[in-house]
Structure 1
Amino acid sequence: MKLKLISCFLFLFIQISAFASANNITGKVIDAKTGESLPGSVINIPELHISVGTNNNGEFTLKSVPAQGRFVVQVQYVGYKTLTQTVDFSTTKPLVFALEQSIIEAHEVVITGTPVTASSKYNSTSAAVVNKDQLMGTSTNLIDALAKQVPGVSQITTSQAISKPVIRGLSYNRVVTLSDGVKQQGQQFGDEHGIEIDQFQAARVEVLRGAASLMYGSDALGGVINVIDPPTPAEGNIKGEILDNYSTNSGLSNTSIMLSGNEDGFVWRGRGTYQNAHSFKTPVGYYQNSGFNQTDFSGMLGVNKAWGYSHLNFSYFKNNIGFFDADPGNELYNNSTSRTLEYPRQDVRHYKLALNNNFLFGTGSLKLDLGFQKNQRRELEDNPVPSLFFDLNTYSVDAKYFLPESNGWKPVIGASWSLGHSVNKGEELLIPAYDEYSAGTFVYLKKTWEKSTFSAGARFDFISNNGKALQKEGEQVFAGFDNKFTNVSGALGYTHVFNDYLSFKANAGSAFRAPNPAELGSNGVHEGTNRYEIGSAGLNPERSYQTDATLEYGSGIITGSFGIYENYIHNFIYASNTNNEQITVTDEGSGADRNLDVYRYGQVNANLYGLEGNLTIHPVSFLHFENTFGYTYAQNKTFDRPLPLIPAGSLHNTLRFEPKIKGLTDFYTSIGIDNYFKQTRIDATFETPTDAYTLLNAGIGTTFKLGSQPLKVYISGNNLTNKKYYDALNRLRPGRYSQEDPTFGVYNPGRNITFGFYLPFGTNK
């Protein structure tokens, strides 16, 4: 019945929207100073998922676009400052975009993950954008790539295949990840699994730092990672790409192929990616059974018309990951480079369908995203039959109606709904089977004057968590729980553009996070962490009160930003081991007893504040000195001690040299230093301090022409001195969970050199 209602709803909107009138808009991109045309420029309209390139005369045509409405248009050309402009599509005159030469190409970017799509200058959210080129290189997954690029972003790592995002010191269910417009729903509560997204599917990634509950409801206390697929090609065109790289440290090979097309508004895209790696090498040896292999398939079918667009996205993600289960006296390292995964290992699969729609009604529009996800996590101890098996199915609807602009005011109303159903299919149990239901609605207003922008919003949420009681062999395993939570959130934002170079933004607001089923009902061995976890059904929602402010500057010589933030969280939830509590557990397979530390979920009041920023100096056009830094100070206010799992302060410096060489395009060479400071602010009940360390990195690359198609080749190296170190968020470092467990005490990866190429291709009719 639900599917029938949704189908009728969509059919009705498509029929109504079919009467929307279409328009063809022509234009030209020129040099602002000389008036010369700029062939190969890219015109992108994020709200319509349209991208088109200019021909040899610098001309372009946008076919079958809406005949009315105002849309943000972004124009880019290598060596020129990116132009972001709002265009009235009712115009009958050809558009002319005049670009200024600049060594800064992307100081001003468009942000789509906020209620109103806008240039970053007029968006109060602290945001960073990572593009396709930056996502390639020595990273092993999406989060690893972001942590190396964005100030304020870190990662909790387990081996090389698993990274969990950390934004301003917050992680797990406090960071929302979006893909295909749908909140990623997996097993975010746990340490030992990452984000089930193909890192190569993204054309770019937006990282929104700071509370975002207004738009995304529960869980967005720390921020949002918005993974954005490539825009569809212009009508009659086909676009594609092939990329491949190989890394020496773990023999990691990545291969990804994508093809996309547009024929009379019928659009499609397909991608396949495969990754394979043996155990990674530390400066003292290969960490046993730490290899992985990953297979990803994704695709899209849809239509782009004058009434908007409707895209059906589908994806399949499968990751096999090896783990090393050490006994006392076992060696952690060996010299094996076998790609065969031994037991124990993990088998993670994620299936997703997402129907993304944007229906245009005159100068208003409705964005409607429908999603279904199946997340399966299997833990295999000593045979292919999973000992632990979580199977989570999630259905979601997210709707936002953008009312027509009036006197400069842009109002938005929205509603969301989701239903999650999780069952246990294995013999081992950690959390109970559960049903999770959530619903929310929000209102948002934005007003832009000549130099200033003001925004405000409010949201109401309702969440219900129902955990199923369970008895096994006459003993109670799970008591069950039935919790209902409500919350009202609010947000205020302000931006001011002083001139073309200097701008300011600030935010204040509240956010919340409902306790997840693991925190409410855990009662069992969490194998990935080698601890026994016990939940508490009486937990209250976390409530966050946050402020931040950022100053941004961009000229021909210096670009940068500096931001400060504070986030006070009432009823912050985390698990801790108190009074050295332990429990004896008998292994069902071997019959052996083992003593495990008991971690109980509880609540405290916490305060996190810090600073982040970046500074790039361009003394001449071919030289760039890039610097990013971030630091978070987090305090457990209830017990007057540091909050656990907080990243160390970091400073990244990169010198990039881009000389003009005849016959080569975009040639560069770089050298960088990553500085990580001591982390002595730890929760001493289960953490140990980490020392400061410095890593040396370098890279070189260029682009060749194969006929009319570019071929980018590159070599990049990380930790070139083979430095022996522990990162503060490395889950395998000593004392991370247990002072005596031999599994922990594994250094971070040593020297790694990556060789790769990237070949985009296609037509430009």
Structure 2
Amino acid sequence: MKTKSFLLSLIVFFLTLNKLVAGPNPVTTITGKVTDKTTGLPIEAAEVSITSLHIGVNTNSKGMFTLPDVPKSKLLITVSRLGYKSVSMPIDLNAMSIINFEMEPTTVEINEVVVTGSPIQGQNVRNSTAISVVSMKSITSSGATNIVDALGNVPGVSQITTGGAISKPVIRGLSYNRVVTLSNDVKQEGQQWGDEHGIEVDQYSAGKVEVLRGPASLFYGSDALGGVINIIDPVTSPPGSFKGQFITNYSTNNGLTANNLQFEGNYHGFVYRMVGTYKNAMSFATPSERVYNSAFRENNITGMVGVNKSWGYAHLTYSRFNTELGLTDGQRDSTGKFVDNEGNTVSHSELESRSLALPFQHITHNKVALNTNIALGKGFIKTTLGFQNNKRMELEDSPSVPSLFFDLSTYTLDSKYYFPEMNGWAPVIGISGSIQNNRNKGEEALVAGYDSYALGAFAYAKRSWDKLTLDVGLRFDTRKMNGMEEYQFMAFNNTFSNISGSTGLTYQLTDNFHAKANIGRGFRAPNIAELSAQGVHEGTFRYEVGNPALKQETTLQLDGSLGWDGKYFSSELNGYYNMINDFIYYQNTNNEQIDVNGILYPVYRYIQGNSVLKGLEFSFDVHAISSLHFENTFALTRGTNTDTKQDLPFIPQAKLTNELRFNIPKEKKSGLTGSYVSLSIDNNFKQTKVDPFESSSGGYTLLNAALGTTFCSKSGHEWFTIYANGRNLTNRNYIDHLSRFKEIGISNIGRNITFGINVPISN
């Protein structure tokens, strides 16, 4: 209770502090012009933004822009436009307020500005950790069924899939509670220990997604050993504006219909945003069959209201993610056809039905977040208060009475103070904390109910010279977990504490050539499944046994990269060596089995062992012709238990992707812009480095293609965008190594073509 009282006191303290410092601050109005560096002509519709303040504006037909009521301090200003390299500059607004930018044409984005992995924003080449940026346009046109699926082409990122609807992120071989997902600056909490539990975030609500590969415990505490997926909201509209969009998609494989409507505005500093999404799909089809009871439906809503003032901003956001997903158990009759939960052979009409059969799961995730960023002297304080409630029900025998019912509530606080620069150093200090309560409300239970309390504090500083950037940081975390005595579980009380830290360097050897190095130490406390699991539930094919005596994991990772950004080609090579002490994973030994209601399940027990994960990511992009470029990426991960000399389980297959993309130049009198066509090949190599209880997986190759264009007026005003994205066009029959359906012999999704249209709305 002392921890809970302390955390509540911190919340009150920071709310009071925010109110106290929200007084008048010196402000200025930024004006300027954006032009093409080659031609000198003005660039229309370039976005000029200050991400730290959540504000932005587009240039007019003369390339001019105005940003009013900006605090007089040193801020990073970013300019971006499709077809140009992004430009970012730290500007001291005490000294200047008229700023002009020149942009270089390019077909490849090589200068992205990122915020993930560092409280200090900056260009990607100035960040010592490996970060990839996925734009909203890429997410929308990808044809993905969920946010994780849309990140599948990021080097080093894989996914554990359960059919066509559920995906869990895997970064460099690490997943579950070793990867943190941030949405609206709130760490997503929704039973992420489970295989068949996806991420409860609407993919269409994202402005962009940044993926950090490597340990990030320094900034996000325990659970960020593998990396971070940061889902970032769009910047708010400029004063006096109103805009939105309507998106609709249709996928041929499972008949998925996805519709999204969103709008936002800014009325004299009062800002608002509304996002609504509805999805519905029947069961997906492999090249040989349609998989019974893999249908799903989803409806989401997000609303934000807030104020943008000279002192900063305050935004209050509410979101509700609601989905129902069929749970395929793979049961068949003597002829190999699927049977329902009563043993009856499934008909063709049932396979193509959009209705859900038993068993299925129903998830509702409600989240409220208050985000503030307030100027304090020449620095500013950024605070996020969050509340989440995740209700996850598994319905086996009745569509209304759940067999399993997890009810998880989480309260979070995260606050950082950004000091003004001191002799070139940019320091940041921060605290974070959470209170979490998980309750079992069903007839059965797989994990114990529990209460969890966590606190953390860190200090960080970054210094940039002409060519060199150095960043250092240190963090302390403590987490207490109290398990309840209920159902088949015994009570337990565990406390985990440790120190995290990192040091990173980047060096710009030439204008085109850069090098990065980072050493980071992190830790992770065991999750509730690892500590207490005892049982089997629908959607899984094993009986899990936890261990309350597990130790915390600690890791030391070495990371390095070399990159070249040239006129005709760009490339980057990342290598890492991750040493994890007391790595936790489950294993089936001696073919142990248990009988549950007449069905034999393999028994998986959680064990620990010192381990190493190592690998590399390589990208190479040739663009000798401005409109044509050839992108290539390769990722390889190897995992070994150094105590037993055995391979670790669930390590993704090595993957090579080759994409040829042609951006069709816009003709002066043409009503089309942004036109493209691409052809890609995904080569997934066989995986023979497996744990003794795993089976190896064969390699496979998929052929994909995409095309799209935007219709616009002669003045350049966008009317609508259409696109098509085809996956597995040859209808290849394959089973990915990380597919959970591999255990029951069900293949991955077959040929799938997604057609979509995006209609912008503006005043």
TM-score, normalised via structure 2 length: 0.95
CA offsets 1:658-700 (integer angstroms, 9 cap, x no match) = 2225421111111111100001111131x21111110011111
SS in 2 for 1:526: coil
Q: Whole-Å Cα distance in 2 between the matches of residues 93 and 178 of structure 1?
A: 33
Residue 32 to residue 467, structure 1, CA distance change in 2 (3 Å): same
Moved more, 203-212 or 18-27: 18-27
Residues 1:720 and 2:729 are matched in the alignment: yes
2:337 to 331, 341, 363: 331
Supply the distance in 2 between the matched residues of 1:241 and 1:584 (Cα, whole angstroms): 53
Structure 2 stretches lacking a partner, 5+ long? 339-345
Q: Is the contact between residue 329 and residue 538 of structure 2 (CA under 8 Å) also seen in structure 1?
A: no
2:305 maps to what in 1? 301
Q: Given the alignment of the two structures, is residue 470 of structure 1 paired with residue 486 of structure 2, yes or no?
A: yes
CA distance in 1, matches of 2:332, 2:731: 28
Q: Which runs of 5+ in 1 are unaligned?
A: 472-476, 587-592, 737-743
Q: Does residue 1:673 correspond to 2:688, yes or no?
A: no
1:278-677 equivalent positions in 2, closer than 5 A: 278-327=282-331, 329=333, 331-332=337-338, 335=348, 336-383=351-398, 384-470=400-486, 477-586=488-597, 593-660=598-665, 662=667, 663=670, 664-677=672-685
Q: In structure 2, which of residues 39, 55, 73 is the aligned counterpart of residue 34 of structure 1? A: 39
Superimposed CA distance per residue, residues 86-130 of structure 1 (whole angstroms, 9 cap, x where no aligned partner)? 111224442111112333344333334422111112111110000
Which secondary structure does the structure 2 equivalent of 1:133 belong to?
helix
Amino acid at match of 2:55: I
Q: Does 1:110 align with 2:95?
A: no
Q: 1:694 maps to which residue?
A: 701
Residues 113 and 206 in structure 1, CA contact (< 8 A), matched pair in contact too: no
1:739-760 deviation line (CA, Å, top 9, x unaligned): xxxxx11000110111101122
Does the 8 Å CA contact 1:456/1:491 hold for their aligned counterparts?
yes
Question: 1:239 Cα shift?
Answer: 1.8
Aligned residues: 740
- 1:219-278 alpha-carbon deviations (Å, 9 max, x no partner): 101000000011101111112111111000000111111111111111110100011110
Match of 2:751 in 1: 751
Q: What's the CA shift for 1:8?
A: 7.2
Distance 1:9 1:222 in 2: 30
SS of structure 2 residue aligned to 1:95: coil
Within 2, Cα distance between the matches of 1:406 and 1:19? 23
User: Which residue type is aligned with residue 388 of structure 2?
Assistant: Q
Distance 1:212 1:22 in 2: 34
Distance 2:579 2:10 in 1: 42
Q: CA 1:111/1:613 → structure 2, altered by over 3 Å: closer, same or farther? A: farther
Alpha-carbon distance in structure 2 between the residues aligned to 1:569 and 1:17 = 44
- Between 280-289 and 518-527, the greater mean CA deviation after superposition: 518-527
Given that 1:287 and 1:334 are in contact with CA atoms closer than 8 Å, whether structure 2 keeps it comes out as: no
Work out whether residues 300 and 314 of structure 1, in 8 Å CA contact, stay in contact via their aligned partners in 2. yes
Paired letter, 1:363: K
Match of 1:244 in 2: 248
Q: Could you tell me which residue of structure 2 aligns to residue 590 of structure 1?
A: none
What is the match of residue 82 of structure 1?
Answer: 86
- Which stretch shows the higher mean deviation, 5-14 or 283-292? 5-14
Q: Compared with structure 1, are the counterparts of its residues 478 and 112 closer, same or farther at alpha carbon in structure 2 (3 Å cutoff)?
A: closer
Q: Which moved more, 1:79-88 or 1:512-521?
A: 79-88
Q: In 2 relative to 1, CA 718–580 (structure 1 residues): closer, same or farther, beyond 3 Å?
A: same
1:672 aligned partner, one-letter code: S
Taking the aligned partners of 2:447 and 2:601, their CA distance within structure 1 comes to: 17
Q: For the residues of structure 2 that align with 1:420 and 1:4, how far apart are their CA atoms? A: 16
1:61 aligns with 2:66: yes
Say which SS state the counterpart of residue 657 (structure 1) adopts: strand
**Does the 8 A contact of 2:169 with 2:179 survive in 1?**
yes
Instruction: Note the aligned Cα RMSD (angstroms).
Output: 1.6
1:600 maps to amino acid: R
TM superposition shift of 1:11 = 5.0
> Per-residue deviation at 1:202?
0.5
User: What's the CA shift string for 1:703-756, capped at 9, x where partnerless?
Assistant: 1016823411011111110000010101101xx3xxxxxxx1100011011110
Distance 1:673 1:327, change over 3 A: closer
Query: What is aligned with 1:10?
Result: 15
Q: Choose the corresponding residue for 2:710, options 697, 703, 711.
A: 703
Per the normalisation by structure 1, the TM-score is 0.94
- TM-superposition CA deviations, 1:437-487 (whole Å, max 9, x none): 11011111111111101111111111101100125xxxxx11121001110
In structure 1, distance between residues paired with 2:20 and 2:453: 31
Partner residue of 2:55 out of 31, 50, 55? 50
Tell me the distance in 2 between the aligned counterparts of 1:570 and 1:4.
35
Q: Residue 14 of structure 1: CA displacement?
A: 3.0
* Aligned residue runs from structure 1 range 191-230, under 5 A: 191-230=195-234
- DSSP 3-state at the match of 2:739: coil
- 1:741 alignment partner in structure 2: none
Give the partner amino acid of 1:541: Q
Aligned AA for 1:746? I
Give the Cα separation in 1 of the matches to 2:15 and 2:269: 18
Match of 2:740 in 1: 731
User: For residues 447 and 3 of structure 1, do their structure 2 counterparts lie closer, same or farther at Cα, with a shift above 3 Å needed?
Assistant: closer
2-structure distance, mates of 1:166, 1:284: 28
Deviations 1:202-233, CA, capped at 9 Å, x for gaps: 11000000000001110101000000011101
Partners of 2:93 and 2:316 lie apart in 1 by 26
Q: Is the 8 A contact 2:386 2:411 kept in 1?
A: yes
Q: Which moved more, 1:622-631 or 1:322-331?
A: 322-331
Q: What is the distance in 1 between the residues matched to 2:97 and 2:492?
A: 63
User: CA deviation digits over 1:579-630, x for unaligned, max 9?
Assistant: 22222223xxxxxx22222111111111100000211110201111111110
- Is 1:288–1:334's contact at 8 Å kept on the other side of the alignment? no
